[in-house]
Amino acid sequence: MKKYLVIGNPIDHSLSPLIHNHWMEKYELTDSVYEKKKIKKKDLKEIVEQVRSGKIKGVNITVPFKKEIIDLLDNVKGDALLTQSVNTLHKAKNEVHGYNTDTEGFKKSLEDKSINYENKNIFILGAGGVTSSILKAFIETAKKIYITNRTKKKAEELKKHGDTLLTTLKREKEIIETIDWGKKPKVCDIIVNTTSVGLIKDQNLDLDFKDYENNKNALFYKLRGKTYEENVSMYPKQTNSNLYFQKNLKHPY
What percent of the chain clears pLDDT 90, i.e. is strictly above it?
Answer: 62
What percent of the chain clears pLDDT 70, i.e. is strictly above it?
Answer: 85
Following DSSP, what letter does each residue of 75-100 receive, concatenated?
EE-THHHHHT---EEEEETTEEEEE-
Strand partners, 99: 88
Please tell me the distance from the alpha carbon of residue 72 to that of residue 51, in angstroms, as a whole number.
Answer: 12
- From 36, 66, 136, 159, active-site residue: 66
Domain 2-100 has CATH 3.30.70.1150: no
Please tell me the distance from the alpha carbon of residue 29 to that of residue 23, in angstroms, as a whole number.
Answer: 8
Decide if 238 contacts 244 (C-beta within 8 A): yes
Task: Identify which of 207, 138, 214 has the alpha carbon closest to the alpha carbon of residue 176.
Answer: 138
The chain-wide mean pLDDT, for the chain, equals: 84
Tell me whether domains 2-100 and 103-245 share a fold.
yes
pLDDT at res. 245: 39
pLDDT at res. 223: 72
Confidence of residue 212 (pLDDT cuts 50, 70, 90): confident
User: What number is the average pLDDT over the span 216-228?
Assistant: 67
Residue-range domain boundaries for the chain: 2-100, 103-245
Decide if 139 contacts 161 (C-beta within 8 A): no
Decide if 172 contacts 140 (C-beta within 8 A): no
Strand partners, 242: none
Residue range 103-245, CATH number: 3.40.50.720
3-class state of residue 162 by DSSP? helix
Decide if 98 contacts 73 (C-beta within 8 A): yes
pLDDT at res. 170: 84
Give yes or no for residue 113 having a pLDDT over 90.
no
Query: How many whole angstroms from its chain centre is CA 21?
Result: 22
User: Residue 83: CB partners within 8 Å, gap ≥ 6?
Assistant: 100, 102, 103, 132, 133, 135, 136
Does pTM surpass 0.75? yes
User: What number is the average pLDDT over the span 49-66?
Assistant: 95
User: Residue 146: CB partners within 8 Å, gap ≥ 6?
Assistant: 121, 122, 123, 124, 177, 178, 179, 185, 188
Question: Quick check: is 201 catalytic?
Answer: no
Mean pLDDT comparison of 47-61, 157-171, 229-243, highest-scoring range: 47-61
